[in-house]
Amino acid sequence: MHYISRLPKGRELIFDALTETESVTIFELADRFGVEDMLYAPKDTGFAASLLHYFGILTLGGMTPFGELILTIPNLVIRKLYAEQIQEMLLPEGRDGDLARRAAEALYQRGDLQPLCDFVEQKYFKATVSGSPS
């Protein structure tokens, strides 16, 4: 998943899969990932989603009315991997670490995304009201 997060559309794909507000959809699954493919194939969303499917980190979840494959996270264990990857990509270390871990646990244990969203809003994208100190 770390490799995917470094691809051009990889971070967006990981967020889309986890939040499930935007379905991960592709027209065709790649069925091979040889050395040549890993080095030279276009690293677009289709490639990244196919690779996640190949490793069992996404699974088939149906088809759109337009014939696209819908890929979903197969279970809570894999959801935990997504939450940990997002934590690694975004969340700070140090004293906020416990709060971040609890928010991530709420997501992968209960499927509750709200504590993680609240943490990101309050700690990562901290905003101040005009005229007041932070």
Q: Give mean pLDDT, residues 84-90.
A: 74
The enclosing H or E element of 71 equals: strand 69-72
Query: In which band, very low, low, confident or very high, does the pLDDT at 91 lie, cut at 50, 70 and 90?
Result: low
Residue 39: partners with Cβ closer than 8 Å, 6 or more residues away: none
Q: For the chain, give the number of residues.
A: 134
Residue 106 confidence (pLDDT) above 70 = yes
Position 122 scores a pLDDT of: 77
Query: In which band, very low, low, confident or very high, does the pLDDT at 127 lie, cut at 50, 70 and 90?
Result: low
Q: Give mean pLDDT, residues 79-105.
A: 73
The β-bridge partners of 25 are 70
Cα angle 87-55-2, degrees, rounded to a multiple of 5: 30
Average pLDDT, the chain: 77
Per-domain residue ranges of the chain:
2-72, 91-124
Alpha-carbon distances of 54 from 49, 75, 77, 93, rounded to whole Å: 9, 15, 17, 32
Position 96 scores a pLDDT of: 66
pLDDT per residue as tens digits for the range 19-70: 766 778 888 887 777 777 777 777 778 888 888 888 888 888 888 899 988 8
Position 120 scores a pLDDT of: 75
Position 12 scores a pLDDT of: 83
91 vs 30: which has the higher pLDDT: 30
